[in-house]
Amino acid sequence: MFVRAPGSRVPAVLATGLVTALLATACGQDSDPSVATPSTPPTAAAPPSATTAPTPSGSATPSASASTPAVDRQITVTIAKRRVDPPTARVTVGKGELVRITVTSDVSDELHVHGYDLGARLPAGTPGSVEFRADKTGLFEVETHESELVLFQLVVR
């Protein structure tokens, strides 16, 4: 007779969670294995007052506050009724720049930066941010997972 102990469900639950996490992060993986590790971990949501919104082809507008380091490029995107503002375009940054991407969506979603494999939760109406050093050159798609919207293409030169 086999008796299951109450604690025996923990490994199964952990394994299920791990498989789910691996599947969620595998979407659109780049074929280049050198881009699988993020240069820095994603940061918590930035307060709306600490952000500036340059146009996708505009120049960088540094922003700083006492609690966050100055960034070389702040990119702010808003999603409302499945519309991306500013409209989807290419955003060019220089290699080595510190980039902060802040997204506010009217529905809960997840932000994902391909190539850097960074992500952030996007609770409805609350900004979510990722901050990283643009240390890999190339063209990287920035999208949402649930709604599958392409926010912009990040060009690092």
Alpha-carbon gap, residue 149 to 41, rounded angstroms: 23
Taking the domain 32-63+70-156, which CATH number applies? Answer: 2.60.40.420
78 — phi, psi (to 5°)?
A: -120, 140
pLDDT tops 80 at residue 140 = yes
Question: pLDDT-based confidence at 53, cuts 50/70/90?
Answer: very low
Helical (H) or strand (E) element with 24: helix 9-25
Query: What pLDDT is attached to residue 104?
Result: 98
Query: pLDDT band for position 61 (50/70/90)?
Result: very low
**Is pLDDT above 60 for 132?**
yes
**Which pLDDT score is estimated for 68?**
55
Alpha carbon distance 108, 114 (integer Å)? 19
Band (pLDDT 50/70/90 cuts) for residue 49 is very low
User: What does the pLDDT look like over 79-111, one tens digit per residue?
Assistant: 999 999 999 999 999 999 999 999 999 999 999
Report residue 87 as tokens: 């409209």
For residue range 16-28, what is the model confidence (pLDDT) as tens digits? 444 344 334 444 4
